[in-house]
Structure 1
Amino acid sequence: ISISGFGPFGEHAVNASWIAVQELKKLGLGEGVDLHVYEIPVEYQTVQRLIPALWKEHCPQLVVHVGVSGMATTVTLEKCGHNVGYKGLDNCRFCPGSQCCVEGGPECIDSIIDMDAVCKRVSTLGLDVTVTISKDAGRYLCDFTYYTSLYQSHGRSAFVHVPPLGKPYTAEQLGRALQAIIEEMLDVLEHSEGKINCRHEH
């Protein structure tokens, strides 16, 4: 499983998404799961290079991207990525001329993971973190990365938005929430594909 967080940008000198991913790395996902973590720079062109390379190198069962949203107060599961509407400049002051991820690609790609099911299941675990669902990842690098990854993986990607650190959650809380979310995602994925993974005991 590959998991990415983003580097600093704008007012986010410390990006909560990367901190949360590092916390998750410490916690791990259990014995049978090989976990690779990446920090992605907030740059469109790097994302376009990095995502295909990541899929090629690891052929992961699942890729989860984590991003920070200054407006979020919950941990948010994004259902889909959007192809068009990218006008915000990245850390290199660059923006795609076409304002889209993949020219000629579908307008929107849904994750094959049932985010409603994941959200419901995580919400019953009694974590001290609220988890919600969204259909709009924001038309900036989060959305751009998610769409690029969904396009590469035929939908085998997920995106989780976290609020900035301390607003209201600590790094530990975010790490634990990610761990629970990804475990449920894997479970949902396995059942939806009709595979039974004996290692995954609840």
Structure 2
Amino acid sequence: QELSKRGLGNHIDLRIMQLPVAYQKAKEQIFKIWTTLKPLLTVHVGLASAAKGLIILEQCGKNKGYQEMDACGFLPEGACCMLDGPEKIESTINMKTLWKNLSVEGIDIIFSRDAGRYICDYTYYASLYYGNGRAAFIHVPPLSPSLTADFLGKALQTIILEMLKQCGDE
């Protein structure tokens, strides 16, 4: 939410939405985002409680392997996101290039190819599927006295502006 205060500049229409921790409901909302708003890029941000002091840039979403129940006690049909979808979908944002060229003082940033086979990976895959790869996923650590909401908002602003450069929007 800190990012909404900061914004991304006058020419960027920033919308912040919270997705439910439920496979089907999250997928329905993502479909709605892509069909009604038609964004240039969607950036999903998820909490990685194990990632203390790390921001993780996720390159791809995986379609299968969803064996953990969501907050409503449901599993996706066939333990996958899209029955007709490919095994994985890569983001059009080159996260490795972003990771190599990006530096945010006070926090480490790493690159990953596995967003974890739960709601984060599931929603990322759905967004990549509906958006033809024009999605990104950033895992962030929990807030702490040394990692404030203000600091994290600034870091996300820096990262997303760099992503938009790859989209040719700046």
TM range (shorter): over 0.9
Q: Which moved more, 1:137-146 or 1:158-167?
A: 158-167
CA offsets, 1:48-79, max 9 Å, x none?
21111001111101000000011112000000
- 1:40 aligns to what SS in structure 2? coil
The 3-state SS of whatever aligns with 1:160 is strand
Q: Residue 72 of structure 1 corresponds to which residue in structure 2? A: 51
Aligned to 1:36: 15
- Correspondence 1:62-141 to 2 at 5 A: 62-73=41-52, 74-123=54-103, 126-141=104-119
Which residue is equivalent to 1:144?
122
1:2-44: CA deviation from partner (whole Å, max 9, x where unpaired): xxxxxxxxxxxxxxxxxxxx10110000111111110111001
Give the TM-score normalised by the residue count of structure 2: 0.95
Tell me the equivalent position of 2:167: 189
Distance 2:121 2:145 in 1: 22
Q: Which amino acid aligns with 1:157?
A: A
- Identity across the alignment (%): 47
Does the aligned pair in 2 maintain the 1:129–1:173 contact within 8 Å? no
Aligned equivalent of 2:136: 158
- Gaps in structure 1 of 5+ consecutive residues: 1-21, 191-196
Determine the C-alpha separation between the residues in 2 that align with 1:134 and 1:141: 16
Q: How high is the TM-score relative to the length of structure 1? A: 0.80
Amino acid at match of 1:161: H
Matches within 5 A, 1:43-62: 43-62=22-41
Taking the aligned partners of 1:120 and 1:144, their CA distance within structure 2 comes to 26
What's the C-alpha RMSD, in Å, of the aligned pairs? Answer: 1.3
Q: Which has the higher contact order (CA 8 A, sep 6+)?
A: 2
* CA–CA distance in structure 1, aligned partners of residues 145 and 100 of structure 2: 23
Q: CA deviation at 1:172?
A: 1.2
